[in-house]
Amino acid sequence: MPNRKKSRKLPRQRRKPRHFNRMILPVLGLAVSSLVIGYAFISIRHTRTVNHPGAAGQLSGAVTAKEAAVLPLYVDARPLGAYLSGHIPGAVSISGSGGMSELKNRARILPQNRHLVVYDFGYNCIPAENIKKVLAGMGITDVEVFRGGWREWMASGNPVEKGESQ
């Protein structure tokens, strides 16, 4: 018998099947969208609905001192320029460009015994949530976030104040 060398077969390189992209991309898209929906559900579930007196027209006229003590104090989390161009009547702005230390200094002016409603431009509410956390760290716990924010306030036709609050 002739002495034959056995030919070694090289291992086949694994190639992605052509349909790989058609399989994996929808699965990844489904996974990402389910994460986003889950996060949105959790954030919605953990927020309380705020009853806004402006929607009922209570802010359109003068209020007595007794009524003012019951009404929430609105805290504007938007930049100062946005606040000056229009805000919820009676709202105070504690936003600034100085970072967290300036925010804490401005938050010291807020009353400790009053219900606070923090708002920003609306919907994602990240600045408002951050201010709520800072206030909680300072011991102010009667704070809610107005989820619809400035956009919902304007869309509802509620009263608007420009410039500094009186």
Inside any domain, residue 94:
yes
Q: What is the CATH number of the domain that holds 65?
A: 3.40.250.10
Residue 10 domain-assigned? no
Query: In total, how many domains does the chain have?
Result: 2
pLDDT at 88: 92
The stretch 106-130 carries a mean pLDDT of 85
Q: Of 61 and 159, which is predicted with more confidence? A: 159
pLDDT in tens, 9-61: 666 666 666 666 666 767 777 777 777 666 655 554 444 444 454 443 344 44
CA dist 126 and 77 (Å) reads 9
Residues 105 and 141 in one domain: yes
Q: What is the band of 99 on the pLDDT scale with cuts at 50, 70, 90?
A: low
Consecutive H or E run containing 155 = helix 149-155
The whole domain housing 40 covers 17-46
